[in-house]
């Protein structure tokens, strides 16, 4: 049984910071590719950042330089540090995992496992 549990969402003012966490259990371990996605109602889920099985990190252009994805292997936990948040970052954020990601890390269909999501709201 695979379980991904996100925490850390909340409300913050523009230019503020939040750090999301995703605790993984079950089959998913540090050898998996893990990523963060976000979704607003009526829109497709979009890739935010991912860290592949070899430690390679990838970011969407709209978060480069402001967000950092990392993984604590000992805790089997994925993090997303979000700085200088903008109102357009308001969305439900999801953690996802797959045994492999590759260059198409931003495609949601590549991921086998998903968390339940955590809401991030950025006010102007």
- State mean pLDDT over 111-122: 97
User: Does the pLDDT of residue 28 top 90, yes or no?
Assistant: no
Helix (H, G, I), strand (E, B) or coil at 60: coil
Percentage helix, strand, coil, to 5, in the chain? Answer: 10, 50, 40
pLDDT at 53 over 90: no
**The pLDDT of residue 31:** 79
> Which pair of tokens denotes residue 109?
């269909």
Q: What is the pLDDT of residue 79?
A: 97
Select the more confidently predicted residue: 97 or 53: 97
* Across 16-45, average pLDDT: 93
């Amino acid at each position: 049984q695979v379980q991904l549990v996100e925490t850390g969402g909340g409300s913050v003012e523009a230019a503020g910071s939040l750090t999301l966490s995703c605790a993984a259990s079950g089959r998913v371990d540090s050898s998996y590719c893990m990523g963060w996605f976000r979704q607003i109602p009526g829109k497709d889920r979009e890739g935010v950042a991912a860290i592949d099985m070899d430690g390679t990190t990838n970011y969407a252009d709209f978060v480069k330089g402001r967000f950092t994805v990392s993984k604590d292997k000992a805790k089997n936990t994925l993090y997303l540090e979000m700085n200088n948040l903008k109102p357009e970052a308001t969305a439900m954020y999801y953690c996802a995992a797959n045994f492999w990601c590759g260059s198409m890390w931003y495609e949601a269909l590549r991921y086998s496992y998903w968390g339940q999501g955590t809401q991030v709201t950025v006010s102007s």
